[in-house]
Structure 1
Amino acid sequence: MSAAAGARGARTGKPVGAITRGTTNPNRLRRQDRWIAHALVPALRHAEAAPVVVDLGYGAAPWTAVELFDRLRAVRADVRMVGIEIEPDRVAAAQRVARPPELTFRRGGFEVPLDGNRRPLLIRAANVLRQYDEDEVTAAWARLCARLAPDGLLVEGTCDEIGRKQAWVALGPEGPRTLTLSAHLASLERPSDLAERLPKALIHRNVPGEPVHAFLRDLDRAWAAAAPYADFGVRQRWLAMVRAVADSWPLTDTQARHRLGELTLRWEAVAPG
């Protein structure tokens, strides 16, 4: 999203952004959903009535919005989900699964249009910025973060077609906080295989001299050293890898999250140099 495109959208009232490929599959974003439901527990439970969450750029079919809505309802029964898409035909097609007022769909883009200009507790933008240039990411993040509630969260990242390899950045109103890697461990050859799914802000930075490259290098080395643990299962190998890098990198999550094939660390440790 270039600055010029954002300005034009603001002047004309048209959605800000570009149409994505729209690729989607049921349960593709289950790993993100699971992490979001865990991370948002405090904010959801302390929010005022009917907190609003947004699935931005949900794609050609509305499955990701429906699935995230159902998973968040387990935490907060009165949560309101708004699926936002820039392509009118996708919005029209999604109406068949809408459950107003709890689950609705509307046309929009990075301006995140909501009734009464409400500020959402969550904006999830999965596989949206992947098609943009790296130098457009900062402006897109800033625009989306400005729409968040004071204790809100922006989750922006990418995944493969069936959701076995995922990576995302979590941002608060102030900016980026953490990077999470998540993998289907049984199909993972080495941690650096996740590099192809890094968020746009990092995917071109996986080169020598950049922090994210060093992080993936250290994960691969620890993974190789943990090979004997594979006799006890791939999860034990992953946990041994995590323990090996914990003293060198600022991990923020717990073993319960690690057991799910996740790894989260503070953003500043891998931010582009």
Structure 2
Amino acid sequence: MVQKAIRLGGRRSAARPLGNPTRGTTNPNRMRRVDRWLTGPQAWRLRPGTTGAPPIAVDLGYGASPRTAVELFERLRASESLVQVIGIEIEPDRVTQAKPLEQPGLEFRVGGFEIPTEKNPTIIRAFNVLRQYEEADVPAIWDTLRSRLAPNGVVVEGTCDEIGRRSSWVGITNDGPTTLSISLRFGDFALPSEVAERLPKALIHRNIPGERVHGFLEAADRAWLAAAPLASFGNRQRWISMCKTLRTAGWPVLDGVSRWRLGELTVDWSCVAPRTGGLALADDADPAA
């Protein structure tokens, strides 16, 4: 039995990591889409601050294989040579197995949502971790993670399929959730809304009429279908047209063609936030209305 409420609130042993073990399944290159976002629009966060201290990135709940943590290290190092990556797992055996892969700038530790690092990390990547929890647990988990962020840091919490072709994530800063990103492999979907089965826990049960995320995915589908004549020029051009149509219609679409051409689309959290519950907006007006 998963003891979410007990582990996330109330009293616990200081030596006991906060959270529950994941299934641990993972595959090489599974996180490439979110890592591409971290080394793209979010790369500025990795620059050393005024103290010159190396930025820290955490791969939380990397699973039975440390491969995705190693890949995160390699990708972030290509963007910022001083970054330090710490893979954190709640299962001690998984950490023991990962230890031989440690090298300067990469290490593995036992821990959970409390993030056992001496300095606050700039990036916390928690992917395919919250799927086992209840939606009601999400606000407390997000608050715990963002409380550990360095200034200008970001938590990226999301989900992807087994081989990383369909992915979505929420960007969470010190002030709370700010963005939702979806990223799909061209040729692997008929409609953008097929990403719904890989939405983050905060949204996956909200894809129903009347909820913002449902309206957003419906609008994306309509824009994608309207751009069908561009299919002869490739799905990349069709996706770019979809993004432009959404922006023109008033949806708070971020970034530009350089990101859209990757099959990526990021919007402001306000247009997808749940209407009720701990992550609802104080103002229930439709941002895209």
**Cα distance in 1 for residues equivalent to 2:253 and 2:48:** 26
Partner of 1:62: 66
Partner of 2:159: 158
Partner of 2:55: 51
Partner of 2:111: 108
Query: Counterpart of 2:114 in 1: which secondary structure?
Result: coil
Q: Deviations over 1:68-114 (max 9, x none)?
A: 111111121111100000011111111121114x1000100000001
Taking structure 1 as reference, are residues 9 and 59 closer, same or farther at Cα in structure 2, changes over 3 Å only?
Answer: farther
Partner of 1:270: 272
Partner of 2:97: 93
Partner of 1:126: 127
| Structure 2 segments unaligned to the other structure (5+ residues) | 276-289
Moved more, 199-208 or 72-81: 72-81
**Cα distance in 2 for residues equivalent to 1:113 and 1:9:** 18
Partner of 1:148: 149
**Cα distance in 2 for residues equivalent to 1:62 and 1:150:** 27
Compute the RMSD of aligned alpha carbons. Answer: 1.3
Whether the 8 Å contact between 2:48 and 2:54 is mirrored in structure 1 is no
TM-score, normalization by structure 2:
0.90
User: Which amino acid is 2:256 matched to?
Assistant: T
Partner of 1:41: 43
Query: Counterpart of 1:65 in 2: which secondary structure?
Result: helix
| Structure 1 segments unaligned to the other structure (5+ residues) | none
Whether the 8 Å contact between 2:48 and 2:55 is mirrored in structure 1 is no
Q: Deviations over 1:100-151 (max 9, x none)?
A: 4x1000100000001xx31000000000001100000000000000000011
| Aligned pairs (5 A) from 1:3-14 | 3-7=5-9, 10-14=12-16
**Cα distance in 1 for residues equivalent to 2:96 and 2:152:** 31
**Cα distance in 2 for residues equivalent to 1:52 and 1:142:** 19
Q: How many residues end up aligned between the 2 structures?
A: 270
Percent of aligned positions that are identical: 54
User: Which amino acid is 2:137 matched to?
Assistant: E
Q: Deviations over 1:7-58 (max 9, x none)?
A: 4664342001010011110100000001011133222224332211100000
Q: Does 1:225 align with 2:229?
A: no
Question: Which of the two has greater helix per residue?
Answer: 1
Q: Does 1:135 align with 2:136?
A: yes
Moved more, 5-14 or 262-271: 5-14
**Cα distance in 2 for residues equivalent to 1:106 and 1:24:** 18
Whether the 8 Å contact between 2:8 and 2:140 is mirrored in structure 1 is no
User: Which amino acid is 1:105 matched to?
Assistant: F
